[in-house]
Amino acid sequence: TIKKISVGSKVILSRLTGHSFPLSVLIAITNRCNFRCKYCNYPYRDPRNPSFEQLTKLIREFVNLGTLRFSFQGGEPLLRPDIKDILLFTKNLGVATSMISNGKLVPERLDVIRLLDEACISLDGPEEVMEANRGINTFQWAAEACRILKEEGIHFHLNCVLTKNNTNVETVRFLLEFAKKHGTRCVF
């Protein structure tokens, strides 16, 4: 509630003064990924990550501009060995954090996930659709991540990338029901 009031007051102040600021920033912190999704080009990008120092400098600069939320994405952010340090640095600045993940590493990286204000798990549809888009076992890994997040009481939502494989009523209905079953929402 206090965070919502803080965000609301900053938005009102911005409108009254005409001074804009980046309220929420999405940062791709790695191109590395443990999946090979058919629609994604991350595996073909430069595999070098920005350094911890580069990221913390950028995060501090955005916080100084008024940013209140950082969402970390990749590739797969949980592949970074220093992801916990990045989140702790950001949280220590009083800023909210979220992360987009394919879910495979969630069970073994719960120490990191617990630091987030919100997690986002990529889910493109039922098993056959998910595997057509992302590969074998990807549905089970995402579903298990959702089960664990719900069980742990970690706030999360689903993210669906729309492709020719999942732009039909049955898949959308499945995703909405899956989200409802897990007490969350799905973003398309």
Average pLDDT, the chain: 91
Q: Which of 47, 101, 93 is CA-nearest to residue 70?
A: 93
**Quick one: how many helices (H) and strands (E) in the chain?**
7, 6
Give CA separation, 52 vs 82, 86, 87, 99, 169, in Å: 7, 7, 11, 17, 43
SS3 82: coil
187 has which bridge partners? 159
Q: What is the mean pLDDT of residues 24-30?
A: 94
Report the chain's terminal Cα–Cα distance, integer Å. Answer: 26
CA torsion sign for 7, 77, 46, 64 is: positive
Q: What pLDDT is stored for residue 22 in this prediction?
A: 83
**pLDDT tier, 6 (very low <50, low <70, confident <90, very high otherwise):** low
E strand segments, the chain? 24-28, 69-73, 96-101, 118-122, 156-159, 186-187
Q: What pLDDT is stored for residue 48 in this prediction?
A: 82
Q: What pLDDT is stored for residue 181 in this prediction?
A: 96
What does the pLDDT look like over 97-111, one tens digit per residue? 999 999 999 999 999
Q: What pLDDT is stored for residue 12 in this prediction?
A: 67
What does the pLDDT look like over 148-170, one tens digit per residue? 999 999 999 999 999 998 999 99
Q: What pLDDT is stored for residue 15 in this prediction?
A: 64
C-alpha span between 87 and 91 (Å, rounded)? 6
Reported pTM: 0.87
Q: Which of 153, 80, 162, 67 is CA-nearest to residue 118?
A: 153
